[in-house]
Amino acid sequence: MIQHLKPHATFFRQETRLSASNKNTILISPLCELNPLLAGHICREVTRVFGYPTEICPLLSDVEFVMDQDRLQYHSTPILERLAQAAPPNALKVLAIVAVDLFIPILTHVYGEAQLGGRACVVSTFRLGEGLLRASHPEDFRLRLVKEAVHELGHTFSLHHCKDPSCIMHYCRSVKDVDKKSMELCRYCRILLNDEIKRNSGIEELRN
């Protein structure tokens, strides 16, 4: 299960610099082959929902350091710690995208994980293609990946799981649940997010 960097990832590696040029940028950090069109969709949706610019910026070369030999899966929590350390100081948040099967010890698998109110989150494409032939359903796969990416970033903005099954912060046990939820935050989560963004910008102003 060694994950090799594919040409697209190499492309991003060569074309990007390891620092967010803008303040308050959300870094999207692919650790797997990621179609540039798909990366573009993720960036646009992240900016639409959170209102911050995004940059593609690979921060880690691989995630083999969290490979669990018994489970043959990858423990997501240490990836977050490593990402937060690797992120340049002016990056507001960092989202890693991996292709390996992630887990946390209490669950069989996770689609992703985030530091609640922190800087780092990760999402995996590994199980999001379930029930789809990716080549013939690129749109369905794209929607699932974007929803789960935004969901994990939502946690870094202190959003918790939402009971509304159509809200993007709804916790999904299966890809069917992911398909059912919308691309949007419910009214309640949107208010919480706006409050958090205001709070962050207030802290930022105090620092300057």
| Residues designated catalytic | 152
Contacting range for Zn ion; rule: CB under 5 A; set: 13-21, 93-101, 124-132, 161-169: 161-169
Q: How far apart are CA 124 and CA 115, in angstroms?
A: 15
Interface with Zn ion includes 167 (CB under 5 A)?
yes
Selected binder of Zn ion within 169, 172, 175, 193 (CB under 5 A): 169
Interface with Zn ion includes 122 (CB under 5 A)?
no
Contacting range for Zn ion; rule: CB under 5 A; set: 17-25, 62-70, 126-134, 186-194: 186-194
Query: Which tokens hold the place of 135?
Result: 């080549």
Selected binder of Zn ion within 31, 57, 186, 192 (CB under 5 A): 186
Nearer residue to Zn ion within complex by CB, 19 or 182: 182
User: Backbone phi, then psi, for 41, in 5-degree steps?
Assistant: -60, -45
Shortest distance in whole angstroms from residue 74 CB to Zn ion: 17
Q: Which residues contact 152 (CB under 8 A, 6 or more apart)?
A: 95, 112, 113, 114, 121, 122, 123
Task: Check if the beta carbon of residue 32 is closer than 8 Å to that of residue 102.
Answer: no
Place of tokens 């922190």: 118
Contacting range for Zn ion; rule: CB under 5 A; set: 59-67, 70-78, 86-94, 185-193: 185-193
Place of tokens 């797997």: 32
Selected binder of Zn ion within 9, 145, 153, 189 (CB under 5 A): 189
Residues constituting the chain: 208
Task: Report the amino acid identity of residue 7.
Answer: P
For binding to Zn ion (CB under 5 A), which residues are involved? 162, 164, 167, 169, 186, 189
